[in-house]
Structure 1
Amino acid sequence: MTAILILAALPEEADAMFLGAGEYGEGWFRARHLAAYGHDLVIVTCGLGKVNAALAAGVFGADADLLLMSGTCGSLGAAPGAYWIAEALQHDYGATHPGLFRRYRAGDWPMGEAGEAHFAAMADPGLGLPHARIASGDSFVACPDAAADLATLGATLVDMEVGAVAQAAARLGKPWAAIKAVTDEANGDSGGDFQANLIRAARVAGDETERLVGML
């Protein structure tokens, strides 16, 4: 039986998966334990940001065979809907030079020639979702200029956690995957759009995450 850790930043995102199933355990994090499709699952609400996501991945990931993340994101030009996250990077990791911020793969030495900055997810088992690269950082992007800068990294989505989960999975030697659904367009309306679309988008991502677990 495969042990799968599913992380979600917000309670609304965690609650959108396997509605009403499982029991909550004790500890630092809100964690729900259940069995589904022949797998042992732990669904953890990690909280916002890279530190929370990485901490939860470290606490629960050592006993997991696979780390997943489900939830919502901003769009950097991507159409509305759910996406298979094929690649993740941390857009706020790197080196600051005069007039230039050079990005590196998170955890790598941020000097010298910068190589590829992203972490690659496990192979898509055939969900049929569009693939995307997501840029993660410890800021909520609500600015078209900032969004345009992130798009130059080849990213079409932005969030605050997946890149950290990918880095933690790499350190743990575990495969990882993520499914994210769009709430907003990373612009001046993003605060209101995120709140208005959170429940709907979380459910879209949650449905696809359930479908993924059933395929594994």
Structure 2
Amino acid sequence: MWGIITGLPEEADAFAPDLGKRSQHGTIALRQLEWRGLSVTLACGGIGKVAAATAATLLASHVGATRLMVIGTAGALLATDGAPLWLRGAIQHDYGAARPDRFAHYEAGEWPLGPDGASGLIAMPQPAGLGLGEAVIASGDCFVECGTRAGLIRDALGATLVDMETAAVAQVADILGLPWCAIKAATDEANAASAGDFHANLAVAARRAAEAAERAVRLMAG
């Protein structure tokens, strides 16, 4: 069974719109449906790593999800045409050690001491025939609207997208021994114009990512 996590209701509602049964578990909005013969439950837990991790854990423990997927929107650390991207890896850009000369990045969950470095967690390979471009995403509990900060994240971690959820879901999947994947479409370029660009492009980007996710789930169903 697929468990799909989003941070925003617009992102969740973009997948198979108007289908399924809605319910509420605390503040997490759930929608259960059958998609191409597969059971799918979407969980919109809210913005940020804790919310995303909680939604992912609920899907695995309460709903019985055996695969986790993140869908929705992101900021672009490099120029993009807005096409949806398959995320081959995810890193937490705000996990590490604050040192006098720099922020040292570490793998999430490891001791932030000694030699630093983070390569992130690897996602499932995208299914044959999906044909999406691929990217690495950096996740953290801040909305990046600063070109300087965006450049630091990009250069330090090799990421080309930034969001606030994916790497947390990847960590939950790793802890629980579940496969995970993610599809994101960019709304903005993580710079001073990002707040306005995000709102202007949210609906279109969310649907682009959701359409790709619909195709991906169908292809992985065989």
- TM-score normalized by structure 2? 0.94
- Residue 181 of structure 1 contacts residue 201 of structure 1 at CA under 8 Å; is this kept in 2? yes
Aligned partner of 1:139 among 139, 142, 165: 142
Matched letter for residue 72 of structure 1: T
In 1: Cα distance, 2:118 partner to 2:152 partner: 17
1:82 lines up with 2:84 in the alignment = yes
- 1:44 matched residue in structure 2: 43
Alpha-carbon offset, residue 79 of structure 1: 1.1
2:186 counterpart residue number? 182
- Specify the SS of the correspondent of 1:25: strand
Match of 2:15 among 17, 27, 31: 17
Match in the other structure for 1:5:
3
The aligned counterpart of 1:103 is 105
Aligned residue pairs, count: 214
Matching residue of 1:122: 124
Greater shift after overlay, 114-123 or 31-40? 114-123
8 Å contact kept, 1:106–1:117: no
Q: Is the 8 A contact 1:103 1:117 kept in 2?
A: no
Q: What CA deviation, in whole Å up to 9, does each residue of 1:31-69 have, x standing for no partner?
A: 000111221110111110000000111111232110001
Preserved CA contact (<8 Å) 2:74 2:162: yes
* Counterparts of 1:178 and 1:56, CA distance in 2: 15
Give the AA of the match of 1:68. M
Q: What percentage of aligned pairs have identical amino acids?
A: 47
> Unpaired runs of 5+ in structure 2?
none
The answer to whether the Cα contact below 8 Å between 2:144 and 2:191 also exists between their aligned partners in 1 is: yes
Q: Does 1:164 align with 2:164?
A: no
d(CA) in 2 for partners of 1:78 and 1:7? 26
Counterpart CA distance in 1 for 2:144 and 2:175 is 27
The answer to whether the Cα contact below 8 Å between 2:138 and 2:162 also exists between their aligned partners in 1 is: yes
Query: 1:112 matched to which residue of 2?
Result: 114
Distance 1:159 1:78 in 2: 16
Deviation at 1:26, TM superposition (A): 3.5
Say what the alpha-carbon RMSD is for the aligned residues: 1.0
Query: Aligned letter for 2:5?
Result: L
Structural mapping, 1:18-33, within 5 Å:
18-28=16-26, 29-33=28-32
Which residue pairs with 2:159 in the alignment?
155
Q: Which runs of no fewer than 5 residues in structure 1 stay unpaired? A: none
Asked if 2 retains the 8 angstrom alpha-carbon contact of 1:88 and 1:119, the reply is: yes
Cα displacement string for residues 173-206 of structure 1 (whole angstroms, at most 9, x for unaligned residues): 0000000001000011000000000000000001
